[in-house]
Every structure is written in structure tokens, then in C-alpha cells.
Amino acid sequence: MKKLTTIVLLFIALQSSAQTMWSEKVAATVDKIWPDSLPIGSRTKWSYDMGVVLKGFESLWMRTGNVAYYNSIKNRMDYFVQNDGSIKGYELEEYNIDHVNNGKLVLMLYRITGAEKYKKAAMHLRDQLRTHPRTNEGGFWHKKIYTNQMWLDGLYMGAPFYAEYAMLFHEDTAFNDIANQFIWMEKHARDPKTGLLYHAWDESKQQQWANKTTGTSPHFWARAMGWYADALVDALDYFPADHPKRKDLIAILNRLVNAIEKQQDPSTGLWYDVMNYNGPGKEKNYFEASASSQFVYAVAKGVRKGYLPAAKLAIAKKGYDGIVKRFIKEENGQTNLHGTVKVSGLGGKPYRDGSFAYYMSEDVIVNDAKGVGAFLLAAGEMEQLPTQHIGKGKTVLLDRWFNSEKKKDAGDQMSYWHYTWEERSHSGYYTWGTIFERYGATIKSLDVAPTASNLSKASVYIIVDPDHVRDNPNPNYVTATDVTTISNWVKAGGVLILLANDSNNCDLKHFNLLANKFGITFTDNSLNMVKNDNYVQGEVLPGANNPVFKTTKKMFLKEISELKVKAPATTIVTKENAAIIAVAKYGKGTVFAVGDPWIYNEYIDNRKLLPADFENYKAAEDLAKWLLQTATKK
């Protein structure tokens, strides 16, 4: 009971602090400092810090539906990525692992647009990793000019891109290599006494900064550990759930968080630039913004994804409050981030010896891109924490059995597409999936026929656009057995969503066997047949006091199958006296039905420039929230 009370109080505090969307305010400053059509940071270089900021923009786009953030990413990437896939200013032969970081945005754009130039650009970056110089063990050198050296920073620059690429192109053996990069880095850089990681490791032990016994650099630089922690939580997004080394990465993350927790300043919640230092000149040490933001991001995301215990959320909360209080300042009409060290490295010319005096000599500046990017990511996690309780412990299961269309994917393998969580193009449910996750739910897919067993852990079950022979030469039609299985699950408290399509694009005959069980029939009469871009023809008004769409005033739906509704179902949205959306109570459960797949990316991520008064993103939020709140099964 005490633990539950603590968590409830924490969420109340988070709801209070999240009233100010600091991420949006800082993002506005980014666009003011670095105009939208230009790179961030350097105006000419393919620079990793731009990628950190733009990952923050991607988070904002998914959390707000504001397409301006996507456009900003695309404009800036297109400044570099040429039509033939070459990258302006990028030289593979430099073998600088920093240059791989922006590949995450290139992959994002490829997944969304399918444009070949992004695929080719991503392949160039992947090719760098194929021939990048390595230690004898196999760890990537930080740069060709830094021979035999692995730096913590390099894990962030290379590993998340490498993992996403491996997932997309089915390079299954690459995951061993990715995991080993983290494992080797920890093995060589971890201090057994504090659990902290030294900034870098020199395999040859020849560098002036290297310990002649261990090869490690002298100190624990906070931002280096922040890069490493963030790399772990980001790479894990793409790691196969059953990969044997996944558990090793989660264990590394837990060890690192336990170590940095002990270094968190108890009064401010922040972290010093050089951690665990108590030598000469220690009074010059200072709290640093980028590292503090990185730790907040890694901990908050780690808890949200289930990699870290829920109790660790207190670290992130305290750290975030400290960052906002000490480093965020509203000045001269913009929101600025103070307190980021411009750079810290080792070796090079002039030579950086890794001493405490060296770290203290580097400039601390306002609105450094690395700090701003780290803050945007941290704020992105913290600003969604107040909504996590809505769907906590609930699973949203998306059918891929009745709708099981496949086509060749990026890796030339046959994969599910059309209304899937993974798909970022127009016809996917990726954006809707991020909304469910923002509300604390887990999203999964079901690739086999529903049974009592595989539905038992689902709170919400979505069936969308069941196949007919034009979609799939061997469709899996709804059967009487399926109707019994699914209706029994609903009766026990499940929430079922039936998303059909117009009759030309969906098998309504067999789907209605299931829908009829709840008093709903999808008809052959198609509504809202929008011609060209005459979007007003797709207008749907949910009406005041709608039980589901509580904040949405106008939605866009096209080519909808009209519903016929009888008890136990009731109509909740109509157009010109035709039933469009219905709900039904059935035992302890609930059914929601509409004759259109509707909540796919094309109409909620706002790249499809609908008139501004259409609120499909808000409707997707309303629907996700209602579904999770209605579900009683966990």
C-alpha cells in the first residue's frame, strides 16, 4: 500500500509539472536560432548534434500531431541527402562513427516515404560500419584518427542506427555485434568500485591519457555516460524480444542506473560534469545540463519500457525538476537552455589529456545543440508520464490473421503491411500505436487465429479490414468458431474494435458474422465518397457530449460502410441520418465499430494536409483513451 501511495503521489506531481510543455517552447527556440531549411549547429557539416535535436522533433511530432516537426526534419535532412542517395559533406573513409548518428533520421524518412534516396543514404552509412576499424576484440574505434580507442560516445552514434537498420533489412546476425559493442565497452570501461564508466578505453594503452594497466581514461565524464545510457534504451527498441543478449543489455542498463543514482546531487537532482571527483580544484566542478538531460531520458524511458524498476522513476523526476529550475530560462522572447559544455574529448591536436583541469577548461554555453537535443528527448519522456496510468498493464492486440496482407519489404522479404503497428507509411498504424504507448499500454500483434489463450492477456483487440481474395489469395475468413471465441472474450470484459472498409475493399460477408453478434451490420452502402481533394465531403461531426470523442469537434472519414444497428448496439455518430459509428455493451465488455480503417497514418500524422479544422489526431487520442479506460481486462 505504501508503494502504491508513493506512485500515485508521484503521478500527481508529474501532472502538475507537465502543464508547461517545455519541449515545445525549446523547439520554438531551435527554429528561431536555426531556420527551418538549414542544418542545426554547423551550417555546412553533416553533424551528429543535428540528429540529436531532430530525434527530439520526431518525439514532438508523434506526441502532438504537429506536422511542422516532421517538415523540419525532412527539410534539414534533404539539405544533405541528394537525389542519388549521396550525402553532402559525408566521407565514408573518415571512419568517424559520429557521422552515423543522423542515419536514424534517414531511416525514419525512408520508412515513411519509401523514397529510394533515403534507402541509398542509409546503405552508405551501413557500409561504413562494415569496414569501420575495430579493436582486436571487435569494438568500433571512435574514429580512424583515434586508433585502438572505444569511447562511450560512440555507442550512441552507431548502435541505435545499426539496430534499426538490422531490423528493417533482416540482418539478424548483426544483433550479436551490436550487443557486443555495449558488452565490451562496459567490460573495459567500468570501474568496479563505483560502477561508473570511464570516458574511453585505449586497447594499446599507448595514449598519454590512458591508464598503463587498464587502458582507461582518468575520469568519469558525465555526458559520455549519458550517451551510453541513451544508446542502450534506444537500441533496445529494435532488438528482437527473444534475442539471448537482450537480457545482457538490460542488465548493463540497470547497473549503470544504479551507479549514476548514487551520483545524483540530493539537493538539485543534477549531475556534475565530472562525476565522483574529489581531488584538487573540485570547487570548479559544475552541474551540467546535457548529461543531466540524458540521464533523465534514459531512466524515464527505461522505466516506461519495463527495463528498469518503477521506483527508479524518482531519479528522473528529481533530475527533470532540477534541469527546469536551473537551466531553462525564458529570455528575450525565447526559451533557452543554459549549462551545456560545448565539447570534451581526448587526444587530438591540441592534445586533450583527460585531466580534471582539461574538462574544466572547456566552454559552457547557452543553447548548445547537444544539450538542446538531450533536453528535448528528456522532456518528451517526462511530458508523457502523467498519462501512463491510463493504460498501465493493458495490452492492445492488433489482428494480423483476418487482415494478413503481405508484400516485399526493405529487406526483400515478405512481411505484413497495411494497418500494422510497424508501418510508418500512409497505410500503417504506427502513429496510433505511439498514442497507445503514451497512455501506458503495450502494443502487440496477433498473427494466428484468435483463441481463448492468446486473447487472455489482451485488454483491447483490434480487427481491421478483413481480407477478401483481391487482397490475399488465401484469406482467413471469420468463422463461427472465431465468433464464439471472440464474443466470449468480450463477455468476460474485453474491448473489441471492428474497423471495416467499404465493400469493395473488405470482406463484409464473413466479418458480419462477428459484428452481428453485437447488433451491428456493415452494409454495402458506402458513404463519404470523397472526390479528389474535396475534403468537405468526408466531414463527420461526432457531436457534443459524445461518449467516445470527448474533445473532437470534426473528423475526416472517407468511403465508409454504413452501419445497421440494433440492440445491444447503439449509434454514437451519424451523418445525414446514416449510422457511422456504433458501440455495444456485451456482458462485461464493449464493442466499438466503424466502417473504415480510418485511424491510419495518412489521416492522423497530418502529412496529408487536411484543412486545419479536421481533428483526426485528436480523435485518435480520444478513441485510444476511451478504449483503455473502458477495458476492464488486464
Question: How far is residue 269 from each of residues 136, 220, 272, 317, measured CA to CA in Å?
Answer: 40, 18, 10, 8
- Longest CA pairwise span in the chain (Å): 82
Q: Whole-angstrom Cα distance, residue 597 to residue 429?
A: 10
Question: How far is residue 507 from each of residues 122, 464, 503, 598, measured CA to CA in Å?
Answer: 39, 10, 7, 17
Question: How far is residue 138 from each of residues 129, 132, 463, measured CA to CA in Å?
Answer: 11, 10, 46
Structural contact between residues 195 and 255, judged by C-beta atoms closer than 8 angstroms? yes
Beta-bridge mates of residue 33: none
- C-alpha cell of 608? 496529408
Beta carbons within 10 angstroms of residue 55's beta carbon: 24
What is the chain's alpha carbon radius of gyration, rounded to the nearest angstrom? 26
Q: Which of 254, 260, 259 is nearest to 306 (CA)?
A: 254
Lookup result for grid cell 479490414: 465
Beta carbons within 10 angstroms of residue 533's beta carbon: 11
Question: How far is residue 41 from each of residues 344, 346, 375, measured CA to CA in Å?
Answer: 16, 21, 16
Where helices occur in 492-606 by DSSP H, the ranges are 508-515, 601-604
Q: Whole-angstrom Cα distance, residue 308 to residue 287?
A: 25
Structural contact between residues 60 and 71, judged by C-beta atoms closer than 8 angstroms? no
Structural contact between residues 158 and 127, judged by C-beta atoms closer than 8 angstroms? no
Q: Whole-angstrom Cα distance, residue 505 to residue 144?
A: 55
Catalytic residue status for 98: no
Burial of 409 (0-12, 13-18, 19+ CB in 10 A): middle
3-state secondary structure 502-524: CHHHCCHHHHHHHHHHHCEEEEE
Question: How far is residue 346 from each of residues 137, 149, 207, 269, 353, measured CA to CA in Å?
Answer: 22, 10, 9, 28, 6
Q: Please say whether the dihedral angle defined by the alpha carbons of residues 147, 229, 50 and 288, taken in this order, is positive or negative.
A: negative
Q: Whole-angstrom Cα distance, residue 326 to residue 15?
A: 20
Q: Which of 192, 442, 507 is nearest to 306 (CA)?
A: 442
Amino acid at 585: K
Lookup result for grid cell 537551466: 327
Residue of 153, 368, 465, 467 with catalytic role: 153
Residue 141 is given by DSSP the state P
Amino acid at 7: I
Q: Kind of pairing, strands 200-202 and 539-540? A: unpaired
List CB contacts of 249: < 8 A, sequence separation 6 or more: 179, 182, 232, 235, 236, 239
Lookup result for grid cell 544508446: 231
Active site residues: 153
